[in-house]
Each structure stands twice: as C-alpha cells, then as structure tokens.
C-alpha cells in the first residue's frame, strides 16, 4: 500500500508567470487519487513552503494558477490541493469531513520538493479553506504558521448564516445541524484549538457577507481562551474580496509575517 502523500503522477501545467514552474500533481490520500497544483520558482534554491487551502466547494472557488504563482513569486514553494472529488480526483468533496486529510497529506507532497526547507512549512487559507487549515494545524506537528483570510471557523455558524448554502451542506454533510449535530460538530475545529501549536494570523474584512466577521471573532476568542499565539488584521471597509492592489500588498505582508514566525 502506498503511503499518504505519495505522488502518483505529475504533469507540467501552463504558468502565467515565466519565473514560476507549475505542475499538476496526483497524489495518494486515504486510498484515493487526489489532485493539486504545485508551484516552484524557476531559479531554484532553498525555500520555505506554503500549503494553499482553497475556498469554495467543487468548481466554486477552484485553485487559480495565477494566485498560486503570485504566492510562489514571493519566494515560496506552494502546493494547493483541489480536495477529493475535484478536477478528476477520486472521492467526494465533504466540506471539511474526511477530505481534511487531503490537506493533511498535501504536506507530504510538498516535502518531496527538492527546493523545500522541510522545517519551514506554512498554511495559507481562504474562506472554506480556513476550517481545513485549522484541522491541518491540529492534526500535524510540523506547521510553522497559519494564515486564515476570511476563513470559516465554525461549520454550524456557516450553515446558519448562509441560507444559500444550506441545500449544498445538507447534501454533502447528510442533514442539518439539528438532525446531525455530531457531523457538524466534528467539522468545527474551534473545540480543538488547544491542540494547535503554530502561531495564527487572522485576516478579515468586517463587511464580509460570505463568511461573516463574527467567524473571525469566534476563532480569536477560542485562541485567546487557550492562550494561543495569534495576530489579527481586520479591515473595516472591506467585504469578502479586497481591491486588487491592496490584496497584492496584503499577500506580500502576510508572506513576510510567515517568514518572521519562529525567526524573531
């Protein structure tokens, strides 16, 4: 039996940046073939790594090559799992159910890069990816830092605040928080943040209507209660999406923040 994270297939992927090499990777995760996108600087070297945990579900919020290349161009090796059941991968996207293992096992994929400093692996998450990042930091002990931007922290809260997502969540999870409370509670990482050792940066627009600002506060409160190391960057004027120029600046700033963790 192949180990989790074993690379089964790799193919070159068109890169929007001539300085970044992209490959689509098929890897082994809980006996399923799962796919993701790997980005490495063309110049070679020894780089810190980022697991980029996408938002959305299925085709919504899919990994964008330009975004992955943007992070890699800051001087990182980046791997972004699509999660199971997406882009030809086996299994079914479960919205932070068993598919959280695809994020956990993605770290093993990243570690196979010859350019990676294996002692410096960070998690970056957007939207739904937030809950995936929290679980990855809970389930692994080799994470240097976590950045969650507009991140989901409570799946039950998400069900209650996003009426337009309830049908999907009932289908994927198997019911409602009332009919299947354990299934929703098991997905909610807030109850286990005491098991996270990595410092966490929470970024959130206070006018966000996709993942409400309250989700950032829930995470902040949980981390404070457990005396965990965290930092917050809150933006009163922004929604779920930030203006392009400021978005790019925040990417540079958060990459600098990642590098500082454990090195100050």
CATH of the domain at 202: 3.40.50.1820
> How sure is the predictor about 264, in pLDDT bands with cuts at 50, 70 and 90?
low
Those residues with Cβ within 8 angstroms of residue 136's Cβ, 6 or more apart along the chain or in another chain? 51, 53, 100, 103, 104, 107, 123, 143
Residues forming a β-bridge with 52: 124
Residues forming a β-bridge with 140: none
> Domain tally for the chain?
1
Could you tell me the residue range of the domain that residue 102 belongs to? 7-260
Average pLDDT over residues 234-255: 97
Query: Does pLDDT of 106 surpass 80?
Result: yes
Say if residues 151 and 135 touch (Cβ distance below 8 Å). Answer: no
d(CA 262, CA 163): 41
Does any domain span residue 52? yes
d(CA 153, CA 220): 10
Does any domain span residue 224? yes
Average pLDDT, the chain: 96
pLDDT of residue 57: 81
Does any domain span residue 183? yes
> How sure is the predictor about 14, in pLDDT bands with cuts at 50, 70 and 90?
very high
Secondary structure element (H or E) that encloses residue 40, with its range: strand 32-41
Residues forming a β-bridge with 39: 22, 78
Does any domain span residue 2? no
Does any domain span residue 1? no
Q: Comparing 59 with 130, which gets the higher pLDDT?
A: 130
pLDDT of residue 60: 80
Residues annotated as catalytic (active site), given as ranges: 127, 240
Does any domain span residue 227? yes
- Across the beta sheet with 230-235, what order do the strands follow? 7-13, 20-29, 32-41, 76-81, 47-53, 116-126, 145-149, 200-205, 230-235
Supply φ then ψ for residue 251, to 5 degrees: -60, -45
Does any domain span residue 194? yes
Q: Which ranges constitute the DSSP H helices of the chain?
A: 65-72, 100-110, 129-139, 155-161, 166-173, 181-187, 213-225, 244-260
pLDDT per residue as tens digits for the range 40-98: 999 989 999 999 999 988 778 889 999 999 999 999 999 999 999 999 999 999 989 99
Average pLDDT over residues 106-125: 97
Does any domain span residue 244? yes
> How sure is the predictor about 262, in pLDDT bands with cuts at 50, 70 and 90?
confident
CA quadruple 81, 82, 84, 88: dihedral sign = negative
pLDDT per residue as tens digits for the range 175-217: 999 999 999 999 999 999 999 999 999 999 999 999 999 999 9
Those residues with Cβ within 8 angstroms of residue 174's Cβ, 6 or more apart along the chain or in another chain? 180, 183
Query: Does pLDDT of 20 surpass 90?
Result: yes
HSE of 113, CA atoms in CB hemisphere, 13 A = 34
Number of H helices, E strands in the chain: 8, 9
């Amino acid at each position: 039996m192949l180990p989790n994270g074993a690379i089964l297939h790799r193919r070159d992927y068109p890169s929007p940046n001539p300085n970044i090499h992209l490959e689509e990777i098929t890897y082994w995760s809980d006996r399923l073939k799962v796919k993701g996108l790997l980005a490495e600087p063309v110049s070679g070297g020894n780089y810190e790594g980022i697991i980029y945990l996408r938002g959305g579900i299925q085709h919504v919020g899919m990994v964008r090559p330009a975004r992955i290349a943007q992070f890699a161009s800051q001087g990182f090796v980046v791997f972004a799992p699509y999660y199971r059941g997406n882009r030809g991968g086996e299994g079914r996207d479960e919205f932070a159910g068993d598919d959280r293992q695809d994020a956990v096992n993605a770290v093993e994929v990243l570690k196979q890069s010859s350019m990676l400093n294996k002692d410096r692996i960070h998690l970056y998450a957007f939207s739904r990816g937030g809950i995936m990042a929290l679980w990855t930091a809970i389930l692994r002990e080799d994470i240097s830092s976590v950045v969650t931007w507009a991140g989901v922290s409570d799946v039950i809260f998400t069900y209650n605040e996003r009426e337009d997502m309830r049908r999907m969540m009932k289908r994927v999870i198997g019911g409602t928080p009332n009919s299947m409370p354990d299934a929703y509670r098991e997905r909610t990482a807030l109850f286990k943040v005491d098991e996270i050792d990595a410092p966490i940066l929470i970024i959130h627009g206070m006018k966000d209507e996709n993942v409400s600002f309250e989700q950032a506060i829930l995470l902040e409160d949980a981390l404070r209660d457990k005396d965990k190391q965290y930092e917050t960057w809150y933006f009163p004027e922004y929604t779920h999406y930030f203006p392009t120029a400021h978005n790019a600046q925040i990417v540079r700033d958060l990459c600098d923040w990642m590098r500082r963790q454990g090195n100050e």
